Every structure is written in structure tokens, then in C-alpha cells.
Amino acid sequence: MSGPLFAQEGGWTMPPSSSPLPSPGRRRALAAFVNTAAALVGGGLSALVGAFALRPATASARERWVRAAATSDLKAGVPVARLIVVPLVDGWYRDHARRTVFLVWDGEKSVRALSGTCTHLGCQVGWDGATNTFRCPCHGGVYEADGRVASGPPPRPLDTLAADILDNGDVMVRL
């Protein structure tokens, strides 16, 4: 005789064949099934979370090349301000950022792009053609035409952005 014994009035007996308890073999199979299912679900969730955490930076943070002007919009040797609207996408969040960039074209195939954001506290600088300087209206910061600090509180030159001219004359800036 094998299998568990059950107490009953008058002695021990084998469980009835219609016992609600599954046999040990069925219990092991059920446990294996549940464990496997839990491992699959857990593994899938971990993969999803890992893919989300390790994904590349969002589009809003990624550098991108944008068309800032055409050479026909520029004047050789003179900084020209261009307002660039950059779409920001971060998950479900959508917005636009406006950035001013000054393009200085050499009249041929080279262009420099200077950020219009003052390096002191972030105001927008303007080009003063009379003095050939960039001037910040907030605290009097002054920058040379090449972006170096001439006077005032800015701690460093205007940021330089990568820029290029395509064969069709489009001026591209990397933000």
C-alpha cells in the first residue's frame, strides 16, 4: 500500500479516489507550470523595463542638424540672427524651443554659428553693427564678433555650434 493515510473513526484508511487533493505528480507539474509562467512574465517585464531604461536619449536631448538659412539670406562677414524652432519630444510631451543663432558667412563655403544665448544668465544677445559687438541687454555683457568676451559679467565666450553649407546653399546647424 502506498500513498497518504487518512485518520477516520476506527483507524487509518486510504483517501477516497475522488479526493480533491491532486496527486504529488500533478502538484509538481502544477508548481513547475506556475514557476515557468512567473519566470516568463517576470523576464518579459524586466526586458521591457531594461529596454526603457537603456534606450537612447530622447529626441529632445539628441543633437540634430537643422536648416538655419540659405546663403542667399546671409551677408558675408556680418553676423545674421536666425530664429530656429526646435521640436521637443519627450515621451508623450511635445513642445517647441526657440533658439537664436548668429551665422557668420565668409562669402564662400564656410560659415560659423554662434549661439545667441548669453553665457552669464542666459539672456539673448543682439548684434550691434555700429561697434561690431554682440551686446547683452540684461547686465551689459559685451562679446567680440567672434564670440569672445569683451567686457561685463559673461564668464566665457558665446557657444559655437557646428555648421555646414550644403551644395544647394542651405546652411545647416547642429543643435
- For the chain, report the end-to-end CA distance as a whole number of angstroms: 82
- What is d(CA 145, CA 158) in angstroms, rounded to the nearest whole number? 10
The region of 52-60, 81-89, 105-113, 135-143 touching ligand FES under the rule CB under 6 A is 135-143
Indicate which single residue of 74, 103, 136, 149 sits in contact with ligand FES (rule: CB under 6 A): 136
- Site membership for ligand FES, residue 150 (CB under 6 A): no
- Site membership for ligand FES, residue 153 (CB under 6 A): yes
- Site membership for ligand FES, residue 111 (CB under 6 A): no
- What is d(CA 70, CA 111) in angstroms, rounded to the nearest whole number? 11
Please identify, using beta-carbon distances, which residue of 73 and 128 lies nearer to ligand FES.
128
Work out the angle at residue 139's Cα, subtended by the Cα atoms of residues 137 and 145, and round it to the nearest 5 degrees. Answer: 60
CA-wise closest residue to 125 among 112, 113, 140:
140
Please identify, using beta-carbon distances, which residue of 126 and 175 lies nearer to ligand FES.
126
- Site membership for ligand FES, residue 76 (CB under 6 A): no
Alpha-helix runs per DSSP H in the chain: 24-54
Size of the site for ligand FES (CB under 6 A): 11
Please identify, using beta-carbon distances, which residue of 118 and 145 lies nearer to ligand FES.
118
Please identify, using beta-carbon distances, which residue of 60 and 124 lies nearer to ligand FES.
124
What the block records as the C-alpha cell of 96 is 517647441
- What is d(CA 82, CA 22) in angstroms, rounded to the nearest whole number? 77
* Contacting residues toward ligand FES, per CB under 6 A: 118, 120-121, 123, 136, 138-139, 141, 152-154
